Structure 1
């Protein structure tokens, strides 16, 4: 029996653990699925800028004391691998990078990425980052529990099935997403 989670399952599990953490969500389906599961002011839904979710999360973590979680995809991380080196250099104590590795560009039709032979967890480790690779629900829950308690940068590479939940588009205007998120950051 295949115990591999779908991205929506990973996001649902994450949201069981989240309290007041700030979340940056990757463009397309990840943001739509997060919005569908639990819309909140502390969620920043990226509506563009593929490849920059981890960079935006890092920048935010360097400028706030709140815990910051970036939900990124393997395709986006592959597009901007340099961000792992920058994260490894700065290592804010309040940053979690959750890479949903479904070996697909989910938002553009599930075309295959290169994570069938490129191991993002090993790349992150080589950048000096505390990294946990998960392949099932128990491992993910254990990783989230640990990462949310610790005061260090953690990269979680969660293996997933390529699957897009049928969700509605986010109807919140981008400017409203921005201002409500800014208000949650500031206080």
Structure 2
């Protein structure tokens, strides 16, 4: 059953608050709204924007966390994108990266294809799926108080961590980051590796 009438959090505000606390964390954003919201919070060379490949954010973040075990990696994506790549949650749990957090901005909609309702609007609980897979910590935030308690887990709690944040479907203007995939990759690689990026 949908609890949409009880959802008060605005996705743009939520993502801005999450990004404000990032420090030097590496952030992988999934297709669509989370990419726009991360860009609206302020473009950063440690942001890896996924413009395509729906369902690939979690797997990309896992690969990055394994390649950079001394850096915090946060996957920031939507419920529709996570549902598309749901098997990645089991793979992440089995791999057990202590430096990885998955944050789902859950508006219970497929925003990229016309705002059709996702399964989370029909009672599918992504945090319970992550818990069942074996994540070290899972949480769902519905309120400002929940959100405030959730953000430190994304950056400080030993992972893998899974946080779903329920947001409303209020319209926010689109803010597009750089779109050139080669430029995104090269900038991110240089930010992560420094001079070694050119070896």
Shorter-chain TM-score tier? over 0.9
Residue number in structure 2 paired with 1:30: 34
Residue number in structure 2 paired with 1:104: 109
Q: Report the number of matched residues.
A: 187
Give, in whole Å, the separation in 2 of the partners of 1:170 and 1:17.
Answer: 20
How does the TM-score come out when normalised to structure 2? 0.88
SS state of the match for residue 158, structure 1? strand
- Report if the CA contact (8 A) 2:28-2:75 is conserved: yes
Q: Given the alignment of the two structures, is residue 184 of structure 1 paired with residue 184 of structure 2, yes or no?
A: no
Gaps of 5+ in 1: none
Give, in whole Å, the separation in 1 of the partners of 2:171 and 2:73.
Answer: 24
Pairwise mapping of residues 25-174 of structure 1 onto structure 2 (< 5 A)? 25-64=29-68, 65-116=70-121, 117-129=123-135, 130-174=137-181
SS state of the match for residue 45, structure 2? coil
Give, in whole Å, the separation in 2 of the partners of 1:15 and 1:80.
Answer: 23
Of stretches 81-90 and 1-10 in structure 1, the one that deviates more from structure 2 is 1-10
- Report if the CA contact (8 A) 2:34-2:105 is conserved: no
Root-mean-square deviation (Å): 1.6
- Report if the CA contact (8 A) 1:33-1:165 is conserved: no
SS state of the match for residue 13, structure 2? helix
How does the TM-score come out when normalised to structure 1? 0.93
Give, in whole Å, the separation in 2 of the partners of 1:168 and 1:157.
Answer: 23
Give, in whole Å, the separation in 1 of the partners of 2:134 and 2:37.
Answer: 31
SS state of the match for residue 161, structure 1? coil
Residue number in structure 2 paired with 1:14: 18
Residue number in structure 1 paired with 2:197: none
Give, in whole Å, the separation in 2 of the partners of 1:113 and 1:176.
Answer: 32
- Report if the CA contact (8 A) 2:33-2:78 is conserved: no
Deviating 4+ runs (over 6 angstroms): none
